[in-house]
Amino acid sequence: MQRIGLYGGSFNPIHFGHLIPALAAAELLSLDKLIFVPSANPPHKPAAAHLVAPEHRLEMVRRAIEGNPQFDVSDIELKRAGPSYTIDTIAELRRQYGLDVLLHWLIGADSLADLGLWHRAGELVDACRIVTMARPGWPVEKAIDRLRDKLTEDQVARLAGGVIATPLIEISATNIRHRIAAGKSVRYFLPGVVLHYIEQHALYRRVEGG
């Protein structure tokens, strides 16, 4: 059975905190393919002026993964109108791939903490395998505890079983955007090709909220 990993996010911009754990997850889960899925309009983040155009975010992911045949990117959420609900994406991909594939939805430990608030969270947990990658500052046990009143015992147990030991990389897109706006270097935070793209298009130069 084919094993597919799906990695959703705003990727604003994509960085090594996404890429290094993703590579480890692909190995640990023996994935045939890991597909990055940039979101159009993240339902759990406030309307954000600092969210650059989807075309930019998609292109930065494309460049970051270029040359790695195991990685791919999908514009499935960008083409769909309205908020990017993961359950809709999974349903669409399930129709596309059929029943004969194992679909894994990859998240960082910070996302696990509020998974209970996601649209139709219980159905989502039943529709695919949610895999959680470690993230500095986000203890997994606390996140799991927060899910107990939102999901069934069995669903929580499956989520806990889906936690994998990926490298801890303390990089966030927020920090990258702040550094760029402050005129600081983000070299070594993300692939050189992504940095080049950001510079070429003068992205993230404005201070957030300013």
**Could you list the residues that contact ligand ATP (CB under 6 A)?**
9-12, 17-18, 21, 107-108, 110-111, 133, 135, 169, 171-174
Measured from the CB atom, the residue of 8 and 156 that comes closer to ligand ATP is: 8
CB of 44 to ligand ATP, least distance (A): 9
Minimum CB–partner distance for residue 122 and ligand ATP (Å): 19
Beta carbon of residue 157, minimum distance to ligand ATP (angstroms, whole number): 21
Q: CA-CA distance, 167 to 170, in Å (whole number)?
A: 10
Judged by beta carbon, residue 111 or residue 155, the one nearer ligand ATP is: 111
**At its nearest, how many Å lie between ligand ATP and the CB of residue 100?**
26
Closest approach of ligand ATP to the CB of residue 98, in Å: 26
The answer to whether the CB of 164 falls within 8 A of the CB of 29 is: yes
Nearer to ligand ATP, 100 or 182 (CB): 182
Position closest to ligand ATP via CB: 108
Residue 99 or 131 having the CB closest to ligand ATP: 131
**Cβ-based nearer residue to ligand ATP, 1 or 177:** 177
